[in-house]
Each structure stands twice: as structure tokens, then as C-alpha cells.
Amino acid sequence: LKFEGNRSVALVNKSCDFLKEECLIPASWWVEKNKGMVLDGNGMWTLADPPEDDIPKPEED
């Protein structure tokens, strides 16, 4: 499968499942914010630290 122009074939399956299995592109692969993953300084994907206001704090009596 080849596109004319400078576009990736993976964009076809961004929000659908039109490509054949032989293309090895998962269906509906686009997710907001990469499921909470971020690219670190070493080029590895890791879970992002939660925002400070999302961390539960124990109630004090």
C-alpha cells in the first residue's frame, strides 16, 4: 500500500479499521495524550506524573 505524497499509511487507521492486517497498524490507534504516556529524555515512553491536584491527600482530624 502506497500513498501519493508525504503521508503515513498509519493515518488511515487513526480512528477506524480500514487497513488489512498485513499492514500491522492497529485499528483506532489515536488516543488523547497517548494514554498518559510521555516521551522521556532517553526516548522511552513512560507514564506521566499525575497533576498535583489529582493526588489524593489524607484528611487531617
pLDDT score recorded for residue 18 = 92
Query: Which residue is listed with cell 498535583?
Result: 52
Query: What is the distance between the alpha carbons of residues 18 and 1, in angstroms, rounded to a whole number?
Result: 12
Residue 17 has pLDDT above 80, yes or no: yes
Q: Rounded to two decimals, what is the model's pTM?
A: 0.42
Q: Each residue of 18-36: pLDDT tens digit?
A: 989 888 888 887 766 666 7
Residue 55 has pLDDT above 70, yes or no: no
Query: What is the distance between the alpha carbons of residues 44 and 22, in angstroms, rounded to a whole number?
Result: 26
Cα 23 from chain centre: 18
**Residue 46 in contact with residue 34, Cβ under 8 Å?**
no
Select from 34, 52, 54, 31 the least CA-distant residue to 44.
Answer: 34
